[in-house]
Structures are given as structure tokens and as C-alpha cells.
């Protein structure tokens, strides 16, 4: 994480105001989930499951059944379905999840389709117990359509030329790079004088298209690490020295893993007295692309 610069930005004491505006709610006391589109291949699901909901399920199913059950996300492809009733999906896909994570990035099986996500228990005999159902979300196709409008025909060769001219190779290289540069400038505008950078290049923007030689083969991949767990209620948990807030004894963090990085994430729990420690070490390595 970059060191925050705008702490110097509040010219007058910010502390008082920060105290006046206490923190925001951790939860809203309602079992529900929402599904958002991220890009043609990814969805973001977040949820809240209340203790009352879990109690209600426990009252209907035996402890044996629930203990043996897996908690899952069931992702339904509901493309073209007017009203989804839980049974009429085109197809569904199950993936394991822990409810305590409270949010999850889901890799969609296909682009350009509509999805609904359920959270629930999958029992050992294959029954699904619904806990929360999301809204419906449509993902973009992420490609040139195969459908050709016969009232608006064009010679295929000309269309390919037009595509190239239209910048099909640049798709996704949006204004954000530009905005990053501007962001840097905003930041600098606010920088205190000590340590004026000397090596800023005045124009460091790269809006390059993929290299010619690589056009027949390309690969894009990114990585985020999710660490989650639980500890005794009064324990102080830290990850890599940074104290993590426990919510009902549980925690989860998510971290981007850039190319060429090694991260060490020792997780430590300490009791209130400070005389007992439990530790789990996690290491991750991501090599540079070749």
C-alpha cells in the first residue's frame, strides 16, 4: 500500500471530525446477498447472514446433516429466463465457500450470460438448503458479436479493416492509465516540500498495444490472495504484524499479489494477557511473466 499523503491534507485538525463521525456499521441485521458484474468473466458476490437465519436452519435440520454439509455458492445461468424460481435455470455450478468471508469473486463459466447466485448448504446426500438468493446480473459478451444484421450488411473484409481501425486491439486500455498519471499529479500537488522527487518523468504514460510478435499468443492472469480464519474471541490477531479486526471471532483479508512478488503472511493470535501465542505461516510466490 502506498503511504497515505492526504493525511497532511486536512489543514485544520481532522481528528475531532474523525471522532465525531464514528465508524460505519459492520452489518445491517438482514440476511441477503447481492451479485455485481465486474468484467466479462468475473462476478462479485457479497452477503450478510444473520445468526437468526442460521438458527432457523438449525431448527429444521439435524446437527448431523448440517455438520456433514458443505457451504457453497450455487451459481445459476438464468439467461433468457423471465422468472427464476430456483428450479428452472439453464444450468448451475457449485463452488465451496465459507459464509464468514462475506464476499467472494466468482469466475463465471461463460461470458455474456445472466446469473443468479445462491448461498446454502449442500448435504452429503445432495440436497441443497438455501440460505440467501442474490439479484440477477448480466455479464457483457467481451467479444465481437456473431450476429449480423441483414439490413446493415458490410463486406467481411471491409468490416475487419474497420475493426482494426476502430481500435479493437486497444480494448481495455482505457483512460485509467491517464487517470493514474493525473492521480499522481494531484498527489504531488499536495506533497510537503521535504523530499521533492527528482526522478519523476514528466510523461510516463504507456498506452501501448500488445506487441506485434505476441499477437498469435497472449496470456493475462492476475492473482489475489484471500486469507480467512477465526480465533478465540478475546485474541488479538495480526497478519504480518498488522492487527486485524475480528468480527464475531472471525477475520478475512484479501490482498493483491503483483507479478514478481513474494509475500510472507505470518498470522499470529495472542491472548488478552499476552502470554500465549498461536501462529500459522503462509507464504506466496508469484513469478514474473515470461
Partner 1 sequence: MAEEKGYLALVLHAHLPFIKHPEYPDFLEEDWFYEAMVETYLPLLNVFENLTNEGTDFRLTMSLTPPLCNMMSDPLLIERFRHYLNQRVELSGKEIERTRGTEFEAVAKMYYDKFRRYQDLFENRYHCHILEGFKKFQDMGKLEIITCCATHGYLPLMVHKESVNAQIKIAVNDYRSRFGRSPRGIWLAECAYNPGDDKFLRDEGIRFFFTESHGVLHGTPRPKYGIYAPVYCPQTGVAAFARDMESAQQVWSAESGYPGDPRYREFYRDLGYDLDYDYIKPYLHSDGVRRNIGMKYYKITGKVPLNQKQPYNPHEAREVAAVHAGNFMFNRQKQIEYLSTLLDRKPLVVSMYDAELYGHWWYEGIDFLEYLFKKIYYDQSDIKLITPSEYLEKYPVNQTVQPSMSSWGDKGYHDVWLNSGNDWIYRHLIKAAERMMEMANQFPHADGLLRRALNQLARELLLMQSSDWAFLMTTGTAKEYSTKRTKDHIKRFNELYEQIKGNRINEAYVYDLEQKDSIFQQIDYNVYSSAAKDAVLKKYQ
Query: Any residues with CB less than 8 A from the CB of 182 and at least 6 apart, and which?
Result: none
Residue in the block written with cell 486497444: 170
Q: Residue 223's CB: how many other CB atoms inside 10 A?
A: 12
Among 51, 68, 110, 154, binds partner 1 (CB under 8 A): 154
Among 92, 177, 230, 236, binds partner 1 (CB under 8 A): 177
Q: Which is nearer to partner 1, 50 or 103 (CB)?
A: 103
> Nearest distance from residue 108's CB to partner 1, in Å?
12
Scored b (16 or more CB within 10 A) or e, 183-215 reads: eeeeeeeeeeeeeeeeeeeeeeeeeeeeeeeee
Q: Which is nearer to partner 1, 170 or 279 (CB)?
A: 170
Alpha-carbon gap, residue 165 to 159, rounded angstroms: 10
Q: Which is nearer to partner 1, 23 or 216 (CB)?
A: 23
- At CA 161, angle to CA 156 and CA 167, rounded to 5? 125
Residues 30-89 that bind partner 1 (CB under 8 A): 34, 36-40, 44, 46, 48
Residues 13-32 that bind partner 1 (CB under 8 A): 17-18, 21-25, 28
Q: Which is nearer to partner 1, 2 or 288 (CB)?
A: 2
Interface characters, 212-251, with partner 1 (x: CB under 8 A): ------------x---------------------------
Amino acid at each position: 500500500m502506498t503511504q497515505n499523503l492526504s493525511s497532511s491534507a486536512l489543514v485544520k485538525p481532522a481528528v475531532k471530525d474523525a471522532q465525531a463521525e464514528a465508524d460505519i456499521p459492520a452489518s445491517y441485521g438482514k440476511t441477503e446477498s447481492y451479485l455485481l458484474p465486474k468484467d466479462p468473466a468475473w462476478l462479485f458476490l457479497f452477503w450478510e447472514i444473520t445468526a437468526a437465519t442460521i438458527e432457523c436452519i438449525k431448527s429444521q435440520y439435524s446437527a448431523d446433516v448440517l455438520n456433514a454439509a458443505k457451504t457453497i455458492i450455487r451459481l445459476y445461468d438464468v439467461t433468457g429466463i423471465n422468472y427464476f424460481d430456483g428450479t428452472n435455470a439453464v444450468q448451475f455450478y457449485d463452488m465451496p465457500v465459507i459464509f464468514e468471508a462475506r464476499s467472494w469473486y466468482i469466475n463465471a463459466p461463460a461470458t455474456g450470460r445472466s446469473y443468479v447466485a445462491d448461498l446454502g448448504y449442500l448435504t452429503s446426500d445432495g440436497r441443497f438448503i438455501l440460505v440467501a438468493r442474490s439479484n440477477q446480473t448480466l455479464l457483457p459478451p467481451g467479444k465481437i458479436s456473431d450476429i449480423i444484421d441483414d439490413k446493415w450488411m458490410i463486406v467481411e473484409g471491409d468490416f475487419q479493416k474497420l475493426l482494426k481501425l476502430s481500435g479493437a486491439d486497444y480494448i481495455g486500455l482505457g483512460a485509467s492509465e491517464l487517470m493514474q498519471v493525473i492521480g499522481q499529479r494531484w498527489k504531488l500537488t499536495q506533497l510537503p516540500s521535504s523530499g521533492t522527487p527528482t526522478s519523476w518523468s514528466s510523461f510516463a504514460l504507456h498506452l501501448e498495444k500488445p506487441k506485434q510478435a505476441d499477437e498469435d499468443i497472449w496470456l493475462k492472469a492476475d492473482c489475489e490472495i484471500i486469507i480467512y480464519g477465526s480465533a478465540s474471541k478475546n485474541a488479538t490477531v495480526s497478519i504480518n504484524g498488522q492487527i486485524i479486526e475480528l468480527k464475531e471471532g472471525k477475520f478475512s483479508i484479501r490482498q493483491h499479489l503483483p507479478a514478481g512478488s513474494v509475500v510472507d503472511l505470518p498470522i499470529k493470535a495472542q491472548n488478552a494477557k499476552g502470554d500465549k501465542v498461536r501462529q500459522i505461516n503462509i507464504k506466496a510466490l508469484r513469478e514474473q511473466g515470461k
